[in-house]
Structure 1
């Protein structure tokens, strides 16, 4: 496990996750629409605190939410929908998880890039229904007018110095013969209002900007820089963010 991946085991990182924008409701409509087989069971890879698993659980037969971080799973259990009877949490890596398939859908938010792809797919493919799809879901703010002023603060403090904004996990999987892409979709943009304080705090839910990796002085410097960048756009301490999600789905494959 890399040092950055290990940061998701910190309780402060798991707590900060609640400040990330939610997935648009359209994401869950599309996910349910991709299920064509029975049983309507879903496997959520690297579930974190359940941003996908919790809203999806009431709409399917079962969601197995797998994550290696006890702190993340604990946070997810406490959040809205975290105790739904259709939701089964498991603290484990996918390579050794107890899978209760067959699964008609597999979901992955911001998680696959942390996993050993060949081992992960070799583990899950035997547990899929004939038409099951793996859906990679990304989401976040778009068209932020303050973004160019925030980027320098991120670059100055981030522990990930080799970040490639052009990297595509879907393209990387296809290039390695691990994924047959079936389709993609962008959700309609939605408005999400967030306080400046919460907007700043969500950065600390990321592996590269976790407070646990910073001194108190460095964290304060980062927070002040972001606050200065967004202040001209805030109204009474609130920011209006435009959130959009992208879904890419297809059939996972075993290498070789």
Structure 2
């Protein structure tokens, strides 16, 4: 897994990240509602290119966006909202980052499973406000009629053959005694239209399907198989996706 985590250092992976579907607006309404302390500062761990941090920044006092990958942070700085004055980027692992709390909210979007949990929680807990919550957010398209063909292609090419779609990182952290859960919610689906070519490219933003891990021949084979699986469901080269997010939150606990 540590080898796969290093894939996010690659510029091609950071570039492909922009093709992932957006978070539903409801996610940000939920996050803002969970901030009950002052100052209204947010720590976004494993921020990537800032899909959470950039929309949050204008609505709070400050967002500190921490990511270990210079390529991801550079991509985020160049995305809309990446230069907002309330947004501070830092290239670092969270366990050694320079933190400037107290933070009233900590967010982790598809990232905390890569981190050393003991060190991570030991690092962030002293920098939290009394009622601060850690929110783990996963999101993506659901109810895709073409998914069986796509899933079979992913299984053939993925560098992570131990992937378990039923695994819950929030439950695993709770079982380690590092999170006191207080809530969970699944957002209402939103419709997102995406070109087939961009839908294919977003798979290459993942650690296990990055182009850097494949030969040119394998990457072309993967792309063709995905295209063949989804094209019958596309209209004029565009897919209609239903995107949802799952938010799980609780009080972080020191190990």
TM-score normalised over the length of structure 1: 0.99
CA distance in 1, matches of 2:219, 2:86: 39
Q: Quote the residue 1:55 is aligned against.
A: 55
CA distance in 2, matches of 1:96, 1:67: 11
**How far did residue 3 of structure 1 move?**
1.2
CA RMSD of aligned residues (A): 0.6
**How far did residue 165 of structure 1 move?**
1.3
Q: Quote the residue 1:74 is aligned against.
A: 74
Give secondary structure in 2 for the equivalent of 1:197.
helix
Q: Quote the residue 2:212 is aligned against.
A: 212
CA distance in 2, matches of 1:183, 1:33: 12
Q: Quote the residue 1:137 is aligned against.
A: 137
CA distance in 2, matches of 1:218, 1:55: 36
1:119-141 deviations in whole A, cap 9, x for unaligned? 00000000000000000011000
CA distance in 1, matches of 2:171, 2:27: 21
Q: Quote the residue 1:97 is aligned against.
A: 97
Give secondary structure in 1 for the equivalent of 2:89.
strand
1:168-204 deviations in whole A, cap 9, x for unaligned? 0011011111111000111110000000000000000
Runs of 4+ in 1 over 2 A off after TM superposition: none
In the alignment, structure 1 segments of 5+ residues that lack a partner are none
Q: Quote the residue 1:248 is aligned against.
A: 248
CA distance in 2, matches of 1:239, 1:139: 17
CA distance in 2, matches of 1:144, 1:36: 37
**How far did residue 53 of structure 1 move?**
0.2
Aligned residue-pair number: 255
Say whether 1:238 aligns with 2:208: no
Of the structure 1 ranges 1-10 and 128-137, higher mean CA displacement relative to structure 2 is found in 1-10
Say whether 1:163 aligns with 2:174: no
Give secondary structure in 2 for the equivalent of 1:205.
coil
CA distance in 1, matches of 2:160, 2:48: 20
